[in-house]
Structure 1
């Protein structure tokens, strides 16, 4: 083994290096990963090959355990007296105490409740006129002779003397206007 390996000072653990970097930088809104990495590189110099992956791993672990707070892409040391920061969106509803009466009652299901099979059937209301509801049905047209002439039956007028459809627009009569001298 080379003599340089024995003379090399061992690096402190990554969580310790991260904490000293955050304390030394003292930025108002915290420090991002790049700033922390640059500080560690400048202070400790000789770092392992996978430094960026190790730093990311330890930052995530410290964030998950609650030692660091991650807010707007910056890491800060958790202040035990500070209230928790609110994330985006609507906060969740506060869960109140459960009342003893509601525990024994069954949960409400979604949607329309099922009909009671033992309920009496409602009586249909009568309109009183005896006629069926809605528009009356179209009557079949006579084949010929009853409603009018054969020409009227062939043209589709149905014997009323009026053709089917919208009547044509009335054309204004044109009158000649002479230009006087």
Structure 2
């Protein structure tokens, strides 16, 4: 900031003051853009420092962040003193209920799962509890057909589809 004051000729007022005068003089209801403000300052004050555009941009951004100016549709305008303060993006935080002054707060719980107690006695294994009926849970196991039919001895035929019969060639008799 010291370099800004050194670069500025002694006859010039501070940049925020020049910006506010420019906005008042331009008096546009939709605000004024940066080039209009710059042209007004150049015409009013004449001799400007070499980095005028950079200084103007810096001060406009700073005034916008501090809330002195409002930026909308690429135009800068003075903030209405009766307007409610603008809120930021996203959902607003929930209002905090004040606690009585004599309340003592406990420290917050640490994140994650608490560690196991090494001195705790081991727990006995849990017994399986049936669901009420004598059947086990899930799909029943597949029973092969041979055991279901009661024939434990296999038949003479092999399993599966029989092979395709090969056509036999007609016998050709050879005459002598």
Length-normalised TM-score, structure 1: 0.57
Q: Does 1:150 align with 2:156?
A: yes
Report how many residues are paired: 147
Change (3 A) 1:27 1:92: farther
Among 122, 133, 148, the alignment partner of 2:137 is: 133
CA distance in 2, matches of 1:110, 1:102: 24
Give the structure, 1 or 2, with the largest relative contact order (CA under 8 Å, sep 6 or more). Answer: 2
Shift, 1:111, TM fit:
8.0
CA distance in 2, matches of 1:94, 1:47: 49
Change (3 A) 1:64 1:107: same
- Say which is worse superposed, 60-69 or 95-104, in terms of deviation: 95-104
Change (3 A) 1:139 1:75: same
CA distance in 1, matches of 2:42, 2:89: 34
CA distance in 2, matches of 1:114, 1:9: 69
Query: Secondary structure of 1:42's match?
Result: helix
Shift, 1:18, TM fit:
0.6
Q: Does 1:12 align with 2:13?
A: yes
CA distance in 1, matches of 2:23, 2:105: 53
- Say which is worse superposed, 66-75 or 110-119, in terms of deviation: 110-119
Query: Secondary structure of 2:95's match?
Result: coil
Shift, 1:63, TM fit:
2.8
Q: CA RMSD in A?
A: 4.1
Q: Partner of 1:58 in structure 2?
A: 59
Shift, 1:10, TM fit:
2.5
- Say which is worse superposed, 76-85 or 16-25, in terms of deviation: 76-85
Which runs of 5 or more structure 2 residues have no equivalent in the other structure? 1-8, 162-176
Which runs of 5 or more structure 1 residues have no equivalent in the other structure? 1-7, 157-181
Deviations 1:103-151 (A, max 9, x none): 5356467788999979999775434543322222234676xx7365232
Change (3 A) 1:113 1:135: farther
- Say which is worse superposed, 90-99 or 16-25, in terms of deviation: 90-99
Shift, 1:83, TM fit:
1.6
Q: Partner of 1:75 in structure 2?
A: 76
CA distance in 2, matches of 1:54, 1:21: 15
